[in-house]
Structure 1
């Protein structure tokens, strides 16, 4: 929240949402963040969580993770270049460390590659064990 001096003040709710993303270790949807926030503050509303996330994205504390066809995910900013594994069973998204490297061989002749994103899809360890 911005006060009359233009300084962002941390509310208890925003700090809670921030702590959830710090501890999560993986990207979360707003719904997942809300579910986790309700453990500590059962009366916190989903709109409050969305507002906190929006403010954290605007402040570049969180960044949007896009998984085509899925809900918006968010993660802490500043974690360097990495990719994702999307579990098609539980819908959780996990960070995959490492990178296949240069994509020049896949880039059409005459095109200039600026960046790449990689999302692996399958079942996480927990869901795969349930067969």
Structure 2
């Protein structure tokens, strides 16, 4: 008997990985997710993190974010937002205010019709910018 992803039982590993993503200040790489999960569950392995992230993506509770060619993951349902990538420490933060006002349906020269937009700002986060 095959169990669908939406009816799979909850596990401690899945619960911790979900909680780590829910409380992250921005999207996380699989490596960051593994490190943070292992702080609570030292025995969790990389394969478990990959399987869990895939399951959570399939369920729609997590979605991938691609920044600079790397796939990161964040909890879904956070509404319209963008990201800030710190060039000093490498952390990525969620920005809840949109720095660009481009309404869906806008038409740019050449006939490009905007459906959505993504913005990533780069610089130093408050901790790295502090004197």
TM-score interval for Structure 1 and Structure 2 normalised by the shorter chain = 0.7 to 0.9
Moved more, 41-50 or 96-105: 96-105
What does the per-residue CA deviation read over 1:40-62, in whole Å, with 9 as the maximum and x for residues that have no partner?
11111111111111110111110
Residue in structure 2 matched with residue 111 of structure 1 by the alignment: 112
Identify, as 1 or 2, the structure richer in strand: 2
Residue in structure 1 matched with residue 18 of structure 2 by the alignment: 18
Q: CA RMSD in A?
A: 1.8
What does the per-residue CA deviation read over 1:67-120, in whole Å, with 9 as the maximum and x for residues that have no partner?
123x21111101111111011122111111122212648x22322111111000
SS of the residue 1:28 aligns to:
coil
Could you tell me how far 1:20 is from its partner in structure 2? 0.8
**Residue segments in structure 2 that go unaligned for 5+ positions in a row:** none
For residues 125 and 15 of structure 1, the distance between their equivalents in structure 2, rounded to whole angstroms, comes to 30
Q: Give TM-score, length-normalised by structure 1.
A: 0.86
Residue in structure 1 matched with residue 121 of structure 2 by the alignment: 120
Aligned length: 126
For residues 27 and 85 of structure 1, the distance between their equivalents in structure 2, rounded to whole angstroms, comes to 10
